Amino acid sequence: MNRRTFESALTEAGVGRILLNESMTRHTTWRIGGPADYFVLPSTVEELSRAVRLAGQFGVPWTVIGRGSNLLVQDGGLRGLVIKLHDQFSEVSVSGSRLTALAGRSIVSLAGLAVRDSLGGLEFATGIPGSVGGAVMMNAGAHGSEISRVLDWADVMDGSGEVRRWMSSDLAFAYRYSRLKDEPGIVVRAQFQLEPADKQDMANQIKAWSRRRAATQPLSLPNCGSVFRNPANAHAAELIEMAGLKGLCCGDAQISDKHANFVVNRGAARASDVLWLIHHAQEVVRERFGLELETEVRIIGETEKGG
């Protein structure tokens, strides 16, 4: 494929802002990741559809990201087209007790809007640093609740740029899982069914959760949130800590000494450093406790050439 030809086709199609060889350190909460060949920021569903269709016509692989949490981009970067759905793709509307938002909307922001309008059911998400689309895809959850409990439907775009509405029951939700983790598709819009609730009660609960996060999580350093899913009847952080790995470093990556299920970037961490810590924690926990730690973080991209 001629790079200039594909770039020209993107420009002519009007798919939003286009960047070349864009460092993914700017687009992940870990501040880690090599360059993306092509990087676009569509602002409408139509622009997104045109970008996906063009990638298919040119045989270019594509990857969609949201706000870059729960994401590790490897040091060699991403080949093909990266489509980012962020603040430019975040329109929201309220109708009675239903909230509808485009996929790039911050789930924290959406939950805040719900509380403002005295609508309950999303307040658990006020500490989840991701997008609406990512939250639906992975069935994000906290404090005993999760997206599947409040999702009404999601509009999902396929590889041909066509959009189909999936009801919540279509998505086969499970713990930190939906069908969209295994089947190609882009959440472009989602609607949530909430319930009237007392605004002050929700605000008090959110403040309590916020204080607890500040006390127990390494919020001052770049991280992706929880790295591992909790095994059945166990907690990943406790297993890692009991294995003596809390505070362990590889390069500038560190298993947090505040919360062992977080890996933090102390300044110049590379994806290879993070991956070493992930694999080492998995090996040690397997040997010590006979349990498998499955990653919650999404790992994408290529290892660095020659590395």
**Quick check: 281 and 220 in contact, CB under 8 A?**
no
CB neighbourhood size of 14 (10 A): 13
CB 291 within 8 Å of CB 231: yes
Is 274 in contact with 295 (CB distance < 8 Å)? no
Q: In what order do the strands lie in the sheet with 17-23?
A: 17-23, 35-41, 78-84, 62-65
Please list the active-site residues: 176, 226, 296
Strands 62-65, 78-84: pairing is parallel
What type of residue is 74? Q
- Other residues' Cβ atoms within 10 Å of the Cβ of residue 221: 18
Structure-block tokens of residue 81 = 């087209």
Q: What whole-number distance in Å separates Cα of residue 119 and Cα of residue 205?
A: 14
**253-255 β-sheet, strand order:** 249-250, 253-255, 263-265
164 strand-pairing partners: 156
Distance of CA 208 to the CA centre of its chain: 24
Q: Which residues contact 238 (CB under 8 A, 6 or more apart)?
A: 260
At 119 the three-state DSSP class reads: strand
What number of other Cβ atoms are within 10 A of residue 96's Cβ? 10
Residues 157 and 188 sit within 8 Å (Cβ to Cβ): yes
The C-alpha atoms of residue 166 and residue 15 are separated, in whole angstroms, by 25
Residue that the structure tokens 């594909």 belong to: 6
